[in-house]
Amino acid sequence: MNRQIPIEMRGHLRFSSKRYGTTTRGLPLEVWLPSSGETDLLIFAAIHGEETETTALLSKALRSIESTPERCAVVLSANPDGALLGTRGNARGVELNRNFPASNWQEAPVKTRWSPAGERVAFSTGEKPGSEPETQGLMNLMKHLNPETTISLHAPLGCIDDPKDSPLGNWIAEQSGLKMVREIGYPTPGSFGSWCAENDFHVITYELPGQSVSELQSTHLPILIDLLLGCSDCLNL
């Protein structure tokens, strides 16, 4: 049975990933696949490259367990180019979470907050829906794994967005103390969530609050570890 390991042994990942695609700049898109070959849950982080706290926290969870999760797949960064460049979009400046070929995709650039003062910066949504290799890689991975549920880690809105109001979404909300919502509260054309809804995939958006990794760890790391381990309280609801 998979279990947690002593903290002093959590300095590196002891099991191997598989490449599921390649970024714009040629970096590997990596997934840690479940040992059973069956995927109940996929957790991925940092489709927005500037949200690196999601990668750090998910990495800590993956490094905390003895072996590869039995029924959970993990992507530590869905946008490694953006993470290295410190930008929300990919290396071409495309907002990947507005590039999915959902019926609500729009050609016009999208604007996101630049600073707490309210300035906004524009990002491309791509030359066409699904134009980016990172988008294509994630879609192909979803179709290959066909997870029962996918959890997309984001920050810093501090809520659990679950359109299906599922038992798992409510469990995460209860454990984290974050508000459960059924929609994020603003339009998300061409988003991963929009594409999932149209392709019958269940996705929960786990929006971490705006805190440092050290501050987030006490509440959210145990939740992520439980999800990786397939705890009976969360995955068998």
**Residue listed under structure tokens 């869905």:** 78
* DSSP-assigned letter for residue 89: S
**207 is a catalytic site residue:** yes
DSSP run (H or E) holding 39: none
**Cα separation of 213 and 230, whole Å?**
23
DSSP run (H or E) holding 91: none
Nearest to 55 by CA among 73, 33, 77: 77
Query: In Å, how far from its chain's centre is CA 155?
Result: 10
Q: How many residues does the chain have?
A: 237
**DSSP 3-state assignment of 34?**
coil
Nearest to 48 by CA among 137, 115, 112: 112
* DSSP-assigned letter for residue 55: H
Q: Which residues of 53-66 are buried (b: 16+ CB within 10 A; e: fewer)?
A: bbbbbbbbbbbbbe
Nearest to 104 by CA among 192, 200, 189, 196: 189
Catalytic residue among 127, 183, 207, 215: 207
* Greatest C-alpha distance within the chain: 50
Name the residues annotated as catalytic: 207
